[in-house]
Structure 1
Amino acid sequence: MAKSAAPDFHQIESLGEDIKRYVLSILGNDLYPPDPFRYYSGLAYAIRERLIKMWLATQASYYDSMSKRVYYLSMEFLPGRFLMNYITNMGMEDGCRQAAADLGFGLDDLAEEERDAGLGNGGLGRLASCYMDSMATQRIPGYGYGILYDYGLFHQRIVNGWQEEEADNWRRHGSPWVIDRVEHLYEVKFYGRSEAYNDPQGVLRYRWAEADTVMAMPCDILIPGHGGKHVTNMRLWAAASSTGFSLRDFNQGDFLGAMQSKIHSENISKVLYPNDEPIQGKELRLRQQYFLVAATLRDIIRRHKKSGPGFAEFPDQVAIQLNDTHPTIAVAELMRILVDEEFLGWDEAWDICRRTFAYTNHTVLPEALETWPADLLGRVLPRHLEIIAEIDRRFLLEVAVAHPGDQVRQNRLAIIDPASRRVRMAHLAIVGSHKVNGVARLHSDILREKVFPEFDALYPGKFTNVTNGITPRRWLLQANPALSRLITSRIGPDWTTDLDRLAELLPLADDPDFRKDWRAAKRENKKRLARYVLRKSGMGINPDTLFDVQVKRMHEYKRQFLNVLHVVTLYNRLRRDPALAVPPRTVLIGGKAAPGYFMAKRIIRLITAVAETVNADDAVRSRLRVVFLPNYCVSQAEKVIPAADLSQQISTAGMEASGTGNMKFALNGALTIGTLDGANIEIMEAVGRENIFIFGLTAKEVEATRAAGYDPGRRVAADAELAEALDMIGRGYFTPSEPDLFTPILDNLLRHGDYYLVTADYRACLEAQDAVNALYLDPEAWTAASIRNTANMGFFSSDRAVLEYAKNIWNIEPLGE
């Protein structure tokens, strides 16, 4: 009997009719007039229908293979827009373009109707989304788990030069990608008390009594791998009240009270990163973290029990990755379930926990190593504080055996800080996991040698490294079609799932015709970005200038201020010598400052002030333009990154864990100017020192400079250009109506020691920028270096990273075809 053909999940020929059917039946709209949002939504539902069929087939393959699964817990995912990513990964772009055209639309115009999903903030969430793509593409069985926030971080507007925050109501018009699973609600508890009792065998047990409850509803967003045959999902939790509306309170006239319980419960999934300065904000953040963890573990255990094995086999079937400290309360929650509900002994439960969990650290900044006041944690999660205290007690006995009599060491390693009575979540994650990884080689070395050296000595081999990666499907194939077409025309399409194949481009760096085509692709991207900037800001920028880009979260250690000092210095040089032999340059800066971060918001105001002055100066405006890009997000990055000539990665060495923006820019042929920080080091080694502009102090030199009592005043006094730039900022040259506006920034530098060593690296930065100018004035040499950057980026694929996790941490094999 002939073998039946595999089902065609894509069904391109019926796509146009399906779109119209969904506009009518799901949206309840007329087909005319042809509104672009309606037709975007109709296309989205048509794509979703095809995805669901493939997702069901994937889930069946998981159960058929009885494979171990990975559960990636993250408080953030930053997927950006879904439509084009789905279409690209499913190989449906040509068919979708034709279907859209037949309906009177351009596919790109329909895609612009989608809002970025407000599920994350920056690099942490974007990395998690890259890993979801790669897990699906590499057929690694697993899921992402997070929270379905109603509101994202915030929408950034620039008003009179200042950042203003607006609610990011990304789900205002609903989302066709979110599939509510109303049939699988889980109860999550808070508050109450821990109660001891004796079971029928006389064994002392504990239960959680008199707790408030919130319901967690799972909502799935599907994630197709490249080729569209393997589809996994993010499962995101939405909070729902367990009590709902109080008719009694309402009838008594207490209208607000009637909704009080519902409001309090559903606040949990209302907004990403509530303001945690007030105690109410801290409590809500803790409740969010536990809400994610409790619901996720219920779902994992439900799925595990369906396959039959007991808990002894749990670590052989389940791998849980803690993406930073935010989900670390999972260690205590799994212990609570195993000991209090499944009645395992402590030692057996603890062994299961440690073999199940692994922890990724993303920072060396002390303020980002999360801690919780013990009294707050004990009030919100009373049983968990008891469990953490017992984990701590047993762990400190272990430390005492290894280092008898060393109370100072015990205090440093304690999970509950005996002085401050704060629970150190990173310590809990390290003790409760079998592997701890940093996210770049330098970062992992710093973790072992500087941040957690005593843990590394206590647990040899526990600390490891997995350098971050990015998905080439989103960040080259989809975001940069002009360059992708050129690459594929020369080396074929296999680079999309085997990024090492880009090395085949290396000989073409010496081919004049290929360099010409490479420049044409870059110019196409620069024209696209110029149209975007004109549409969003009303400002025209010249695509025939050097596009110098720094886009990332606003933070002092990322040193946007150093970038500004270079701009001011270049402005001064051009004013003195309009014929200066440097290429015309457009400086683009974008990023959000946390609403309460005074200094970062002041630096944004400085950038906009410098831009206003420079762009209004007729003597230099054709040679230098400065643009602040409001509301930096994934969809904006997809336009900015392919257009960049120069990528600014200039953080103070030793402070950036890894970075992934640096990888995206280099993959798209931008040359990096940066410090030896994070993954910049590995990028330099990959692309060659001659194809990158490295400057400044190393991490060890930064540490030594601070230890020696650095005096920024001496550096300023010895550098006339630096002194001039700071003087202009300080005396109000850029804000004459408010001359003291930037005094706090200068005080940080000159009176408070310049912690981020901006003045120490200023001259080296300028010298590196001089080298940039010289190379850019030689288009053939610059293009060759650009090609070599792209060609040598194979290592930085998220496919490589997740395969390292699978082999070295999760102990999971990819599924076969």
Structure 2
Amino acid sequence: MTEFSLASYANKPLAECTELELFNALLSLTKDAAAEKGYNQGKKRLYYISAEFLIGKLLSNNLINLGLYDQVRAELAEAGRDLAELEEFENEPSLGNGGLGRLAACFLDSCATLGLPASGVGLAYHCGLFRQSFDKNKQYESPDYWLRWGQESWMRRTPKHYTVNFGNLSVTSTMYQIDVTGYHSQCDTLNLFDVDTVDERVIKNRINFDKSQVAKNLTLFLYPDDSDEAGRILRVYQEYFMVSNAAQLMLDECVERGSNLHDLADYAAVQINDTHPTMVIPELIRLLGERGIGFDEAVQIVRDTCAYTNHTILAEALECWPLSFIERVAPQLVPIIQQLDAFVRGQYEDDFVQVIDQWQNVHMANIDIHFSHSVNGVAALHTKILEDSELAPFYKIYPEKFNNKTNGITFRRWMVECNPGLNKLVSGKIGEGWKTDAEQLEQLLPLADDPAFLAQLDQVKRTNKQTFAAWLAAHQGTVVDPDSVFDVQSKRLHEYKRQQLNLLWAIRKYQRLQMLEADELPKHKVTVIFGAKAAPAYTIAKDIIHAIICLGKVIEADPVASKYLQVVMIENYNVTAAQHLIPAADISEQISLASKEASGTSNMKFMLNGAITLGTMDGANVEIAELVGEDNIYTFGDSSDEVIARYKRGDYNPRSYYEKDEELAAAVDFLTSDAMLAQGDATNLNRLHDELLNKDWFMTFPDFADYCATKAQVLKDYEDREAWQRKALVNISKAGYFSSDRTIAQYEKDIWHLR
């Protein structure tokens, strides 16, 4: 085995190298080490197709997986250089947005670690989602030019090209690859497609561009603004481009491995991650037809090959495209989709399960369910809701297809890399085996009665809070008190995740602080930390961000309240920010409306790093509660059954709660108070006030009182540091179930059968 030395990759002594020269040398070293490890091979290969892969920075993750981290750090230290500086220097690939993309990244890591032949397939976005900045207390979006000039990239250009024919033009793709390193194992690859004609100069103002110039804008942005028809059609172009390349690549590789295509399911497993890649089904049928396979057989081949992961019960998130859009973008698919629709209509009369509805809209999830062999939810509660209500007509038809695969996270990134203090403490007590067998974390449980160990755990958390505070000050100039309680809600900004509920609590807390006597003031300051991006066209989500930032300014200006409460919004929240924030968190806010969060994965990351969950019984919170017991989690709010029943009755009236609860009314009305208006924009604040008072689609008000009471108990319990760390230890020790290695092993056993 080659001995890899960083000095041999630099053209001069390490001490004399610039950060750019060191980073490029490290990248070359890492790529060579990955190539020497080799790639997972086998007759059958997984093709995991996803619009997002939120892979995060790769340098440290790859060095850890390749077993080179300590060696490289020591070599740099000997030359007076710091690996941490290079970790900060690296630019984060902007290839995803939230949990969907982070899950895909964790899954590829676990596939490689478990030795499964797998390829991720997606798009090489030039500017990602967007770079978030705050101006006048509002979110502004700008292109995220993550591919820096002069900095080598983890992406390597390959000689693979495919022709993709649209209705009005043809483009030639180029495939790029990023190595996915397994932990002390071989590698897999992430295959990303682009077109050389994309021109970043078409971006004219912030993230606005001419959406009609498809050849120039096809892979510019993840999820281009779909508030107009041109944006929606561009999304269809992107999705067809992604799946056409994926299908052509897969068929070519399977033939190279010996497939005659009639036996395609013996050579390929396709996992459709949410509905964005749905058109791979008709595209594969079309391509098989071009290669001489009849329609009925092609449908069965594709059904045997493809599996679908459902990530939501929100109707607006289950994609539905006008047939006219597909006719414009990929007219060659229209006859196939119509044949699939006729096939379904010939068997089932229920309008709910049809592929094309009466308004000539194509329901993508319906294609996935009918023409795949597996449909999985991503948490036990989520899957039950799909089966019992949201997709019940399909479950009656295909009970054998439905199954649950509770999400997971890769512990190598979410503790080994981002929480070195906890990694060292845990490994020092139970050894290294938990890094590949996460259930071994349960060996920590007996230490729950060891005051010395609990004190060490407390010190690790304090160090992490200091580290995060220093990072935040450097990142955006915001100063936070590491001795305060870090109360954290970090996730995509969406009303169902209910950042607005946390916001109303913070207002209520501020108002109460103003009324307390000196001897009633709390012992610990609470720092409420939000990390979130709102979709550019999601008006109310951006209003919530505006209100959070304005409230932070109001509290900051109050000489008394600011000693006991702070509200912070992290700018441009991404994986890098998460890796600093999550190890520092004391409280993990998982407060989505019960029945609406499919799973969540931040809840797992916080749990692993010793934060205590404050949450509704929603998504994977239910499984966390079952694992840790009621003494080690704080739950509140209406149950999923109660929420579903209320939606079904259609009788929810937010004003009735507002009128009965004076503190709720005061918190809501504070949004448009003089203090807030002095900091903010009346249009935004009034719109949010009216939205909550008159609509409140995700039922913030019914849970408000219980949330406030439960949070008061959380903060009271925090004062007993030993008891709190005992809760943290139980959470860490029970987190092993949420390893993505476990999730992937279940996919392999039940769905993919790669080995």
- The 5 Å alignment of 1:216-227 reads 216-227=173-184
User: Is residue 2:323 matched to residue 1:365?
Assistant: no
User: 1:281 deviation in Å?
Assistant: 1.7
Amino acid at match of 2:176: C
Instruction: Note the alpha carbon deviations across 1:429-466, whole angstroms, 9 max, x for none.
Output: 11110000011111111111222111111112111110
1:717 to 626, 643, 659: 659
Amino acid at match of 1:398: Q
User: 1:275 deviation in Å?
Assistant: 1.4
1:390 to 339, 342, 365: 339
User: Is residue 2:565 matched to residue 1:619?
Assistant: no
- The 5 Å alignment of 1:548-559 reads 548-559=487-498
Do the aligned partners of 2:211 and 2:217 also contact (CA within 8 Å) in 1?
Answer: no
1:275 to 204, 212, 225: 225
Task: Measure, in 1, the Cα distance between the counterparts of 2:701 and 2:529.
Answer: 22
Instruction: Note the alpha carbon deviations across 1:58-98, whole angstroms, 9 max, x for none.
Output: 25xx2xxx431111001110001010110111121111112
Task: Measure, in 2, the Cα distance between the counterparts of 1:715 and 1:580.
Answer: 28
SS at match of 1:398: coil
User: 1:296 deviation in Å?
Assistant: 1.4
Amino acid at match of 2:189: N
2:260 to 310, 315, 335: 310
Structure 2 counterpart of 1:202: none
Amino acid at match of 1:220: Q
Task: Measure, in 1, the Cα distance between the counterparts of 2:547 and 2:93.
Answer: 30
Amino acid at match of 2:357: D
User: Is residue 2:141 matched to residue 1:185?
Assistant: no
Instruction: Note the alpha carbon deviations across 1:357-381, whole angstroms, 9 max, x for none.
Output: 0000111111111011111111221
User: 1:33 deviation in Å?
Assistant: 5.9
Structure 1 counterpart of 2:270: 320
SS at match of 1:736: helix
Do the aligned partners of 2:212 and 2:230 also contact (CA within 8 Å) in 1?
Answer: no
Structure 2 counterpart of 1:233: 189
Change (3 A) 1:741 1:297: closer
Structure 2 counterpart of 1:517: 456
Instruction: Note the alpha carbon deviations across 1:527-561, whole angstroms, 9 max, x for none.
Output: 00010121123232111111100111111111111
- The 5 Å alignment of 1:16-27 reads 16-18=7-9, 20-21=10-11
Task: Measure, in 2, the Cα distance between the counterparts of 1:616 and 1:298.
Answer: 59
Structure 2 counterpart of 1:497: 436
Do the aligned partners of 2:408 and 2:601 also contact (CA within 8 Å) in 1?
Answer: yes
SS at match of 1:586: strand
Structure 1 counterpart of 2:742: 800
Structure 2 counterpart of 1:214: 171
Do the aligned partners of 2:214 and 2:234 also contact (CA within 8 Å) in 1?
Answer: no
Single out whichever of 769-778 and 663-672 deviates more from structure 2. 769-778
User: 1:679 deviation in Å?
Assistant: 0.7
Structure 1 counterpart of 2:702: 760
SS at match of 2:254: helix
Amino acid at match of 1:596: A
Amino acid at match of 2:248: R
User: 1:704 deviation in Å?
Assistant: 2.5
- The 5 Å alignment of 1:576-725 reads 576-577=515-516, 578=518, 579-706=520-647, 707=649, 709-725=651-667
Change (3 A) 1:262 1:303: farther
Task: Measure, in 2, the Cα distance between the counterparts of 1:735 and 1:371.
Answer: 39
Do the aligned partners of 2:158 and 2:177 also contact (CA within 8 Å) in 1?
Answer: no
Task: Measure, in 1, the Cα distance between the counterparts of 2:23 and 2:256.
Answer: 38
Task: Measure, in 2, the Cα distance between the counterparts of 1:68 and 1:423.
Answer: 31
**How many pairs align?**
741
Single out whichever of 743-752 and 68-77 deviates more from structure 2. 743-752
1:141 to 117, 120, 123: 117
Structure 1 counterpart of 2:715: 773
Structure 1: gaps of 5 or more residues: 1-6, 25-29, 193-211, 245-259, 400-406
User: 1:711 deviation in Å?
Assistant: 2.6
Structure 2: gaps of 5 or more residues: 200-209
Do the aligned partners of 2:669 and 2:689 also contact (CA within 8 Å) in 1?
Answer: no
Amino acid at match of 1:234: L
User: 1:100 deviation in Å?
Assistant: 1.7
Single out whichever of 305-314 and 420-429 deviates more from structure 2. 305-314
Do the aligned partners of 2:211 and 2:231 also contact (CA within 8 Å) in 1?
Answer: no
SS at match of 1:70: strand
1:415 to 352, 355, 380: 355
User: Is residue 2:375 matched to residue 1:436?
Assistant: yes
User: Is residue 2:1 matched to residue 1:58?
Assistant: no
Task: Measure, in 1, the Cα distance between the counterparts of 2:23 and 2:363.
Answer: 46
Do the aligned partners of 1:36 and 1:113 also contact (CA within 8 Å) in 2?
Answer: yes
Identity value in percent: 39
Single out whichever of 315-324 and 444-453 deviates more from structure 2. 444-453
Structure 1 counterpart of 2:685: 742
Do the aligned partners of 1:733 and 1:739 also contact (CA within 8 Å) in 2?
Answer: no
1:79 to 47, 50, 55: 55
Amino acid at match of 1:306: E
Structure 2 counterpart of 1:197: none
User: 1:741 deviation in Å?
Assistant: 4.5
Do the aligned partners of 1:180 and 1:217 also contact (CA within 8 Å) in 2?
Answer: no
- The 5 Å alignment of 1:35-184 reads 35-54=18-37, 57-58=38-39, 62=41, 66-173=42-149, 176-184=152-160
Do the aligned partners of 1:16 and 1:100 also contact (CA within 8 Å) in 2?
Answer: no
Amino acid at match of 1:508: L
1:751 to 678, 681, 694: 694
Amino acid at match of 1:389: Q
Change (3 A) 1:370 1:602: same
Do the aligned partners of 1:241 and 1:261 also contact (CA within 8 Å) in 2?
Answer: no
Amino acid at match of 1:382: P
User: 1:178 deviation in Å?
Assistant: 3.6
Task: Measure, in 2, the Cα distance between the counterparts of 1:742 and 1:434.
Answer: 48
Amino acid at match of 1:417: D
Amino acid at match of 2:447: L
Task: Measure, in 1, the Cα distance between the counterparts of 2:26 and 2:158.
Answer: 25
Structure 1 counterpart of 2:6: 15
Structure 1 counterpart of 2:477: 538
Aligned residues: CA RMSD: 1.9
TM-score of the pair, normalised by structure 1: 0.88
Task: Measure, in 2, the Cα distance between the counterparts of 1:390 and 1:299.
Answer: 25
SS at match of 2:346: helix
SS at match of 1:377: helix
- Pair member with larger Rg: 1
